[in-house]
Every structure is written in C-alpha cells, then in structure tokens.
Amino acid sequence: MPASADWRSAGWTKAFAVALVLLVGVLAVRHSLGMALATKRPELALQLDRENATVLAQMALTLVQDEATPQRLKARDLARAALARDAGNVNALAAFGLASDRPKQVAAVFTAADRLSRRNLIVQIWMIENAVAKGDVSGALRQYDIALRTSRAAPSLLFPVLVDATSNDQLLPAIAKTLAQRPLWGGLYLQQLAQSGKDLHRIALLFAMLKQQGVATGAAADTALYTRLLEAQLFDDAWKVYASDHRGAQHAAVRGDTFGEDPVVKTPYDWQLSDNEFVTARIEQTTSAKGELIFTTAAGEGGDVARQTLSLTPGTYTLQAEVGSIEAADAQPPYLRVVCLPSGTELTRKPLLLQGTNGVSFSVSAGCPAQTLSIVAPPASGLGTVNGTIRLVRLARTG
C-alpha cells in the first residue's frame, strides 16, 4: 500500500479538514490582531473603519466560516480589499485562500502566506492539511512542529489528532523521529498520549523507540503509561518499555536486590515503598553499591513494606533474603510473597528469620505472565510493633 493510502486510511485528511474549520472559528473570535474591537466586534469595526486592512481581514475570517456562497464571496472581496491596502497581511491571505474555490490559487496564496509568517496558526493548519492530502508524512510533521512551536493554541487543537495517529503503524517511525529531535512540545504531547491515547500497544512501542534512542519521555508520562498498561494486563508491553529504558534488564531478577541507590524515577519494576499510613519504610545507603531497607509498623498494624512487579518466564526459581535484624513483638515475622498477575494466585510465601539468610523455591507456570513480589509485615496482636532491616532480596532461575 502506498504511503499516501496509509496516511489517508488513518483518517488524517478528514480530521485536519474538521480541525481547520473549527480553528478558523476559534481564531476569528480569539486571535489577537492588536485591535480589540476588530476581534470582538468586527462588524462594528468595519462600519467605523472600512479602510483598515486589519479590520477587513478579521471580518473576512469571520465570514469565511459560513458555508453559504454569498458569505464566502463577500469574505473573498473583503480579503482582496485588505490585501490592496496591505499586501503582507497574513490573515487576509488566509481568508482569501479559504474563500477561494480554485485549488492552484489556494495553494499559491497559502504558500505565500507561509513565507511571510510562520506564526499564523490558520496558515500552518492548511499547510499540514495540504501535506496530508499529498501523503507527505514528514512534511506534515514538519509543519506540525512549526505550529506547535509558534502558537499557544496549537496543542489543544493538534495534539488529539497526533495522539490518534499513533494507531497507524506506518506513522510511528516518523512520529518517533520527530520526537527524537526533542521539540519543546514533546513532553506535553507524550504526557497527553500516555494519559488519553487509546492504542496502548502502539503507544508502548513508541515509548520504547524513544527510550532506545535515549530520549527522556518524562516521569509523569511514564507513570501514566505503566499504570494503564498493567491495568489493561499488557504485561509484555510494560516490560518492553522498561527494558528499553534499562539496558541489560533481566527477567529473572529483582531490581535493587541489594537496596543500592534508589532510582529517582521509579517504575513498577523498582521497589515501591509502603504507601500504607501504618507502615514506614525507607532505603538507606551503606556503601556506593549497597544499602538497607529499614521499616517499622505502627502498634498493632501491618501491611506491605515494599513491592515490585516481576516479569518471570515459566520455570523454577529461588528467592533469597538476607535479614540484618527483625524485632516482631507479639507478631508473626515479616514474609516474602510472590503473587501471579492477573489471577492473584499466591506462588510462594516465606516467613523471614529474625536474622540471617533465608531461601525458598517456587515455580511459575505458563499462565502467569507477570508477578508481584512483596515484603509483608503482619499486624501484631495488641500494641506490638514490627521493626526490621533487610539487606538483600535476590532471585535466581534454577530450572
């Protein structure tokens, strides 16, 4: 299938045409032309000053929204009158182009307007639409970049179309190439994409492409995407995003197994410390490569101390923990727990010794695409508390 067919099949031509009509209406009311009256009440402004090119152009933009032929003809006449007074009036050129029914003339007018100014969003939208109609992916994205860099109104109008575009496999490499140039609008776009994009599989693929090139996708976007991927049970996609950002990441491993330096940006595949108000946990460094997980529970309370998502493939594993010390007055000792996702089936539960090294073996079946590893402190009876220090949690495949 030719590139132009792929482009049109994504619905971009129609989307841009609709965006163009909406945009003219928005800018006809809101776009600042340096004259408040011309913007807010163009009819009155025209009555007061029919010789002002700015007023004539604004009125032309107002009328060109109307599909009725007489109104469009009047818009064209007003735009022509504005250009007679100011040949460089970009709004007049845009109105004249929109009112024209001659394709070659339209293209010439908007090309001239684009040369005069790249800060006119109506012109940039037309340039995008024209590239779309030609099947020019790189050209459309280049105009996209210009519009998003030069107009504050552009993101709210253009991001939704670009978000939908990620559903087309043919467009992903071009979008990734544009974002790899680190445009100023890239972070906001990726955040909106992660939060509202519908095709999570392809969004994950785009994030992986960017991360492999060393492009930071942003903590907010990453958090939103991981959350949505795991909620949708797209575990393979979530792992691929993580692995693309952490070279050498192994399936059969615990991240931060020696509680070394805590990552600044945490993912579900890193240790997530307790968010339970009754359990306090922190990681303290002892050397450059090692640290300790230190935790305490409120009287009579308990819960998860720390947890992380695993991506173990089917097989047999050994889980090992090294305890510095645990004080569990009137309570069962903390334990390691591995649960299969999404079923919630418990694969193993290993109570920890109060001091020293612990180990336990368990198996992962083919129907268990992801897992959660947790360190859990059971609640004490009465007013007892649990305090502890853990120095190591390590995982190895044994079969």
Whether 339 and 292 share a structural domain? yes
SS3 59: helix
Please state the domain count of the chain. 2
Whether 119 and 219 share a structural domain? yes
Q: Which of 215, 219, 212, 397 is nearest to 317 (CA)?
A: 397
- Domain of 194, CATH number, reads 1.25.40
| Residue 252 belongs to a domain | no
Whether 73 and 202 share a structural domain? yes
Q: Which of 149, 157, 152, 209 is nearest to 183 (CA)?
A: 149
Q: What's the DSSP call for residue 312?
A: P
93 close to 109: Cβ distance less than 8 angstroms:
yes
Task: Note every long-range contact of 101-108, with CB atoms under 8 Å and residues 24 or more positions apart, other chains counting.
Answer: none
Q: What's the DSSP call for residue 238?
A: H
93 close to 76: Cβ distance less than 8 angstroms:
no
**Euclidean distance between CA atoms 127 and 117, whole angstroms:** 12
Q: Which of 366, 360, 367, 351 is nearest to 398 (CA)?
A: 360
Strands 272-273 and 303-310: antiparallel
Each of the 399 residues of the chain gets a pLDDT tens digit; together they read 444 445 444 455 555 544 444 444 444 433 333 343 345 555 544 444 455 667 787 777 777 776 776 777 878 888 888 788 888 888 888 888 888 888 898 899 899 988 988 888 888 988 988 888 888 888 989 999 999 998 888 999 899 999 999 998 888 999 999 999 999 999 999 999 999 999 999 999 999 999 999 999 999 999 999 999 999 999 999 999 999 999 899 999 999 999 987 777 789 999 999 988 899 999 998 887 899 999 999 888 889 999 999 999 999 999 999 999 998 877 788 999 999 999 999 999 999 998 999 899 999 999 999 999 999 999 877 778 888 999 999 999 998
Whether 308 and 209 share a structural domain? no
Q: Which of 390, 363, 386 is nearest to 374 (CA)?
A: 390
244 close to 176: Cβ distance less than 8 angstroms:
no
Whether 35 and 182 share a structural domain? yes
Query: What's the Cα-to-Cα distance from 290 to each of 248, 287, 388, 392, 393, rounded to whole Å?
Result: 19, 5, 17, 9, 12
Whether 331 and 385 share a structural domain? yes
SS3 225: helix
The pair of structure tokens assigned to 215 is 């492009």
| Residue 152 belongs to a domain | yes
- Domain of 369, CATH number, reads 2.60.120.260
Domain boundary (240, 259, 286) is at 240
List Cβ neighbours of 156 (8 Å cut-off, separation of 6 or more).
none
Whether 282 and 236 share a structural domain? no
Identity of residue 341? L
Whether 219 and 288 share a structural domain? no
